[in-house]
């Protein structure tokens, strides 16, 4: 690969910048308990609805929470919470709880992002989480200044696998889609990048395996720490 052929690297957040299981599985149990008001029966019903194994404390691969938006998760849970809680109220509660979740870096981020910036790449984040959640997590790890653009599902550009997020970032950064890479852990990420005309790189720090990602990716890496080598640095 020609060194620095690519100019723009777009990262998903959950499962890509941050290890999905290590970051979200402990949080999910406490968040669902909070939604259930401590009611153990309701907690288990919510967990089952979300494909979260309450006994093992792990998400199952078909959970809407893995790649879906907060609104999709809220609508999924709403039938169990009764008429007193609208999907909008559930989403707001989850968003509030999510901002304080402790994220675990998928690879040491500050040195990685420093190296990529020094190599001349423009960096951005496109997440199906909400923008304020993303901003909070990036700020907590002191990495927000590395990114030229950070957009979420509530930023007005749809949600992955719709390619509009990726297309907007490329346009805002003045980069042709063919010179951009979408990096993510889910099929939503890879399909969005492909549909936007970008190269795609899958990583295994989410819940999807190599065989699931590879048909939709130019490469599948163990984590984003391997990205500089793939780029030729």
Question: Per-residue pLDDT tens for 141-166?
Answer: 999 999 999 999 999 999 999 999 99
Instruction: Read off the pLDDT of each residue in 61-86 and give the average, rounded to a whole number.
Output: 88
Do 201 and 111 belong together in one domain? Answer: yes
Do 109 and 192 belong together in one domain? Answer: yes
**Residue that finishes a domain, picked among 69, 84, 99:** 99
Do 167 and 149 belong together in one domain? Answer: yes
- 194 within a domain of the structure (yes/no): yes
Q: What is the mean pLDDT of the chain?
A: 94
Do 12 and 71 belong together in one domain? Answer: no
**pLDDT tens per residue, range 95-135:** 889 888 999 999 999 999 999 999 999 999 999 999 999 99
- pLDDT band of 74, cuts 50, 70, 90: very high
Residue 73 sits in which domain range? Answer: 22-99
Indicate the number of domains in the chain.
2
> Residues 53, 47: contact at Cβ < 8 Å?
yes
pTM over 0.85: yes
């Amino acid at each position: 690969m020609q060194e620095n052929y690519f100019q723009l690297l777009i990262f998903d957040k959950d499962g890509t910048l941050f290890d999905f299981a290590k970051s979200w599985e402990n949080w999910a149990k406490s968040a669902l308990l909070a939604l259930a008001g401590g009611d153990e029966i309701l907690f288990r019903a919510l967990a089952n609805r979300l494909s979260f194994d309450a006994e093992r404390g792990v998400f199952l691969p078909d959970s809407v929470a893995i790649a879906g938006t907060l609104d999709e998760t809220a609508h999924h849970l709403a039938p169990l919470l009764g008429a007193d809680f609208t999907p909008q109220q559930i989403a707001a509660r989850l968003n509030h709880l999510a901002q304080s979740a402790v994220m675990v870096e998928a690879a040491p981020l500050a040195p990685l992002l420093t190296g990529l910036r020094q190599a001349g790449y423009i960096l951005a984040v496109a997440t199906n989480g909400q923008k304020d959640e993303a901003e909070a997590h990036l700020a907590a790890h002191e990495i927000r200044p590395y990114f030229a653009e950070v957009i979420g599902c509530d930023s007005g550009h749809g949600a992955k696998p719709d390619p509009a997020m990726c297309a907007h970032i490329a346009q805002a950064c003045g980069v042709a889609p063919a010179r951009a890479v979408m990096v993510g852990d889910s099929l939503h990420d890879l399909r969005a990048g492909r549909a936007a005309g970008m190269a795609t790189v899958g990583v295994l720090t989410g819940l999807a395996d190599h065989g699931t990602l590879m048909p939709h990716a130019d490469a599948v890496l163990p984590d984003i720490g391997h990205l500089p080598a793939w780029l030729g640095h």
